[in-house]
Structure 1
Amino acid sequence: MIFSFFLLFYLYKLKIELFKKNFIELLENHETSITSSKEFNQSLRLFQEKLESLKLLSKQNSKLLELFDISNDYFEDGIIFLDNKGIIQRFNRKIITFFDKEYFEIDSYKKITDLTSNIDFIDFFEKSKTKKINTINIQTNFPQKNFHLRSINLDEIIVVFIKDISDIISLDKTRREFFANTSHEIKTPVTSIKLNVQALKNSLKSDNKDDFLYFLEKIDLDADRLQKITEDIGQLHSLESGSIKLSPEELRIDEFMSGFLLNFETLLSSKRMKIKISKNNFKKIKIDSNLFFTLLENIISNSIRYSKEDSNIEIDMKKNKSLFSISIKDEGVGVSQIDLPHIFERFYRGDGLRSDQHNGLGLAIVKHIVDLHKGTIEASSEINEGLKIMINFPQ
């Protein structure tokens, strides 16, 4: 649509220029004296017809220029018009944004080198002078962005379309990383199950009951791990795709927390750990109870997994008229300052002590749940001093 409009615009412009050239030639051919009134009338009529045609074309050209100016702010793509010498004739506002320039300096941008010093851009524009159609993808570093460029050479005018494809490239990279990480996560327990099944067969042949029970338990643990991975992937996909709809309700926080903690009694007692809860004087919060349960389940599970025995997990809750705040702090191995900014990214594994025994999806799910509630989440930590996660939910 945009391309068709500008192609039409410059075809009209070229038509006018060609008409002007022919009209001048016509005048030059009639510099000789006119010998009769009939010849004079014929020449006058011809001139009038040419003038009317020129006026019509000029009017159409003016309307297209006016349409371009009105529509300038609405084009998603950057558009530059250059003459066949590479001098900029016109460009839209998006070009200013793409090249991080100031709009008040617009009159000073005459050449492509006035807009950018990027060698790839300059080389593309140079080659577009001799090619009818030219396309390329270019990556810039400061800031890091990806652009798709396409030029159409109309002899007198070169039209260049510039599209920011950074989001598309990023999405494709995320998709490829997701499949690679998912494959890796699933492959690990599947390989372990296959090895343990073989060991199980060997224990049957040797009639070793202890080995049989040992390998059977390992297979059961790997199956549980595989199930958790598939459940987490499914839930993360549902959150990212928007198929999970928020259903906030009035939740009695004391009753909810009592029921929630029952799910962790066995796991806590196995490591002689305790969860301590403190809160100010409030009874209800407005939240999606199912998603809030999932959020706490992922955070508390991580805290237990990475905490030493005989340690505590502290949950602090506060509420005012507009905000419900909850923080969860453990006494575990902690997270390094290098890894800390990335802990809410899916499949992220740092190099520290928390890098094993998890699939890297739990805190990514937590982050999406917070985002769905239009809340905020942040974390603080030091190695061997535990991890603290702080979340705010608007009320």
Structure 2
Amino acid sequence: MARSLKWRLISLFCLLIAASVGLLSIFLSNHLENSYLDNLQSRLVQEATLLSEIVPEHISEDPDSFDAYIKELGASLDIRLTVIDPGGQVLADSLQSPSDMENHSTRVEFIDALKNGLGTSVHQSASLGYEMLYVAIPVKSGTEVLAVVRVALPVEEVYAAVGDVDRTILLSALISILAAGLLAVWVAASLTRPIKELTAIARRIARGQMDAVQIEVSGKGEMEELAHAFRLMTERLRDSINAVSSERDRLSAVLERMGDGIFLLDCEGTISLLNPAAERIFKLEAEHVIGHSFVEAIRDHEIHSIFEHSKSSGKQEMGFVELASGRRFLGIIATPLVSQSGYLVLVQDLSELRRLEKVRRDFVANISHELRTPISSLKLLTETLQEGAASDAAVAAGFIEKIHLEVDKLAQLVTELSDLSAIESGQAVLNLQPGDISTAIKLAAARLSPQAERAGISLGVELPETLPQVKLDENRIEQVLVNLVHNAIKFTPKGGRIKIGARTQGQILVVYVSDSGIGIPEDDLTRVFERFYKVDKARSGGGTGLGLAISKHIVQAHGGNIWAESRYGKGATFSFSLPLG
């Protein structure tokens, strides 16, 4: 409270009043004392002048008679009267015996009287022991100085009178200061009340309660203008905060939904912000890494070196990093912020793009390979026929039969590519009807049983007594089952077993084809449904490599999913799901 503006104003106001009244009191006291002394001195000068005219008539008398006369005269005038010869010897004194008094030649008033015709001083009387005001005037006869008349009065009465007046002045000063203090309290309260109101409003604004603030401040003049300015400031501040909040929300929404990772670093490389994508890519938690260094969080020197290059060059730096963990391929862009206040590190997960690029290259290589073999065979067969084999009917018939087989392979490849393209583009319309999956399973088993028998493989069907109906295109689902069973036959050695079955699992129907074949390596499980992808790298198993890709897209068009499970050397199980209801 003592440090508040109100009490500082009161203290300052009272201090000024007290100083002013004090100085005025001192001035009045000194002025009064000087005025009393001047009046007293004027009286003494008049009396000394009068006595200087009387003394010459009696100075030639007997010394005792002259002293008696001076004593009588001093008593009648109620003053001290002293007559001093030019040498300083006291001739007569109204209060003391001249013989008992010392020489007065060194007294100031005596010296000034002889020199200037008038001498005055205030000093303590050596004979009486108290302070007196002295006035001395020379007594002359013509130009000759006969003596010096000195009159004196005590100044104690002056001091007493001045003291009474001083006490009156002091009392008046105290009353004035008290009144001024009360006035200061009222004035300070009037001045600081609007300031307190504005302070309370400012505190509410600082707490974010701007919507509830009503700026109504008491006071006129400058305070009213201040309240108006404060009101305008609050409105603009509210608009600015709303704009900043809106921008922050939009930025937050962008950062939340960005697929690329964002790190915001300060000048020292300490993380101040990261988005969910960055947390996901590096398996981080924001609350655990904010405030820690970038390299400590990501633990990868290649990524950190890109940031360091940007930091040292002051320019944007780019680079690509392949993480050993997870086999991910990342694009890194480190950019200094405006005024070098920090750095923005953008992390792009390019793993899927790289995978798709590899798939594209594999697709081109696979389709080239698939086309090269039959085209080479056709070319060789036709060249052989042209070179004379056509003249031998039996040989020509055999070559023509081989040409038919190669053309059939090309036709199958083109047909499957056309089917795959139509399914992927949505041009192949499915005829979805409620149906029993058991029918499609049995038809597929019947179609491929002869092929399984020729390969020495047992093909069986495992179905529960009842299965719920699902919406399906029976011909397309049969095509999927044929592809899966054919694939199982191809990679199951003689004496092996293949099972086709179905089961309900929650809100889906799961259909599976399980075999006891050579299995699929773990690294190939995620790629077996790609176009032309073959686990048999030498392609000795035959086929176009499109069957599983077509099956995948047919199942997905039904709203289901397809997957493979296998332990290499222990067989494989291909499963797909169809939604119920």
TM-score normalised by L of structure 2: 0.49
Encode CA deviations 1:195-227: one digit per residue, 9 max, x unaligned: 12212223445x222221222122211111122
Contact kept in structure 2, 1:131 and 1:153, CA below 8 Å: no
Q: 1:133 to 1:327 in 2, by over 3 A?
A: same
CA distance in 2, matches of 1:192, 1:256: 37
Match runs of 1:85-164 below 5 Å: 85-88=267-270, 90-94=272-276, 95-109=278-292, 111-131=293-313, 133-141=315-323, 142-143=325-326, 144-164=328-348
1:322-345 residue CA offsets vs partner (Å, 9 max, x unmatched) = 4434333457x5335457625434
Q: Residue 114 of structure 1 aligns to which amino acid in structure 2?
A: E
Specify the alignment match of 1:221 in structure 2.
Answer: 405
Aligned pairs for 1:55-66 within 5 A:
64=244
Match of 2:473 in 1: 288
Matched residue count: 339
Alignment of 1:41-56 (within 5 A): none
Q: 2:254 is matched by which residue type in structure 1?
A: Y
Work out whether 1:200 is the aligned partner of 2:374: no
List gaps (5 residues or longer) in structure 1. Answer: 1-51
1:72 aligns with 252
CA distance in 1, matches of 2:497, 2:394: 35
Contact 1:349/1:355, CA 8 A, preserved across alignment: no
Q: Distance in 2 between matches of 1:329 and 1:99?
A: 38
Inter-partner Cα distance in structure 2 for 1:213 and 1:316:
44
The structure with higher relative contact order (CA 8 Å, sep 6+) is 1
* Equivalence for 2:53: none
CA contact under 8 A between 1:138 and 1:147: conserved in structure 2? yes
Q: Distance in 1 between matches of 2:488 and 2:560?
A: 24
Aligned 1:1-395 pairs, distance under 5 A: 64=244, 67-68=247-248, 71-75=251-255, 76=258, 77-82=260-265, 85-88=267-270, 90-94=272-276, 95-109=278-292, 111-131=293-313, 133-141=315-323, 142-143=325-326, 144-166=328-350, 167-204=352-389, 207-244=391-428, 247-252=431-436, 256=440, 276-282=460-466, 285-286=469-470, 287-306=472-491, 314-318=499-503, 322-329=507-514, 333-338=517-522, 341=525, 342-351=527-536, 355-372=540-557, 373-380=559-566, 383=569, 388-395=573-580
SS at structure 2 position matched to 1:358: coil
C-alpha distance in 2, partners of 1:276/1:350?
25
Report how far residue 291 of structure 1 moved.
2.0
* Contact kept? 2:321, 2:329, Cα under 8 Å: yes
Gaps of 5+ in 2: 1-231
Cα distance in 1 for residues equivalent to 2:469 and 2:486: 23
Root mean square deviation, CA, Å: 4.1
> Percent identity among equivalent residues?
22
Residue 357 of structure 1 deviates from its aligned partner by 0.9
Relative distance call for 1:203 and 1:148 in structure 2 (3 A) is: farther
Letter in 2 for 1:378: A
| TM-aligned CA deviation for residue 186 of structure 1 | 1.7
- Cα distance in 1 for partners of 2:237, 2:309 equals 31
SS at match of 2:509: strand
CA shift digits 1:159-183 (9 cap, x unpaired) = 4251424233332232222222222
Q: Is the 8 A contact 1:285 1:324 kept in 2?
A: no
